[in-house]
Amino acid sequence: MPLTSTGDIVGPARAATSGVGAFNVVQIEHAEAIVAGAERAGLPVVLQISENTARYHGSLAPIGLASLALARAASMPVAVHLDHAESTALVHEAVELGFTSVMFDASTLPYAENVEATRAVTDHCHRAQVWVEAELGEVGGKDGAHAPGVRTDPDEARAFVAATGVDALAVAVGSSHAMLTRDAVLDFGLISRLRAAIDVPLVLHGSSGVGDTDLAKAVAAGMTKVNISTHLNKLFTRTVRERLDAAPEVADPRKYLGPARRVVEWEVARLLGVLVGG
């Protein structure tokens, strides 16, 4: 199965009131595990690379090209997505590399400036047939729209989508990035109202903090693309730590990264089943 457009994965899922798992890549073991998990589940998946991860690797190209190669070799549809990009130059680089979608984050700007910047990015990406996700309010940020009581307004969301032409919208409904426990309280009524208000897929950020039952309920209420990162990183790191504690003399990284990769593979497969109602 060749590298697949993000829209060709997310669009049909929205129409079917199903969910799509979007998992963050930090290093190549993550990308390998996520693709293997999708193949194990027999379901499509989105590989996500954040601006922070590109910075960690020194540039977007090394981890981006590796992820694209894995996507092209996969037996299931795999999209490659730039996550939480604040730099338009990085967005342009992702488009040139062949990413199938970008998430442009101008949420810290005043509303009018957010609209203007997002509209310009959307125009550029659409000329290259690249799908665009944006956010309204600081949906991705530790506080911001994830602070207690802050939520996305359906009317404002409708206006933002119309003004920018984006293909998907990340919304604030009670989740938060980097949660280490899975006890976030989502507003399912708001998700349903947002689903009715705008005619593009909704994206749930901070899904690592949401338990299985509520992930399924969020999809049933109207969420489509579900972003998960910290939860997988916890499992990966725990496995590495256990392997090194059990055999502190080990020097070969494959001896502890390999088992961590397998744990993430199985969890990706399991989560994909949760999101499609399996």
What does the pLDDT read at residue 180?
Answer: 43
pLDDT in tens, 23-37: 999 999 999 999 999
* Nearby residues of 151 by Cβ (< 8 Å), 6 or more positions away: 145, 172, 173, 174, 187, 190
What does the pLDDT read at residue 146?
Answer: 44
Token duo for residue 161: 């989508």
* Nearby residues of 6 by Cβ (< 8 Å), 6 or more positions away: 46, 79, 81, 100, 101, 131
CATH of 6-275, one of 3.40.50.300, 2.30.42.10, 3.40.50.920, 3.20.20.70: 3.20.20.70
**Would you kindly state where each structural domain of the chain is located, as residue ranges?**
6-275
What does the pLDDT read at residue 89?
Answer: 96
The parts of the chain modelled with pLDDT lower than 50 are 139-146, 148, 178-183
Closest CA to 47 of 19, 69, 14: 69
The set of long-range contacts for 115-124, using a CB threshold of 8 Å and a minimum separation of 24, is: 115/160, 115/163, 115/164, 117/88, 118/164, 118/166, 119/163, 119/164, 119/165, 120/88, 121/88, 121/91, 122/164, 122/165, 122/166, 123/165, 124/88, 124/91, 124/92, 124/95
- Indicate which residues carry an active-site annotation: 83
What does the pLDDT read at residue 22?
Answer: 96
What does the pLDDT read at residue 205?
Answer: 80
Residue type, 46: V
Q: Which residue has the tokens 């972003």?
A: 227
What does the pLDDT read at residue 111?
Answer: 86
Strands 20-24 and 78-85: unpaired
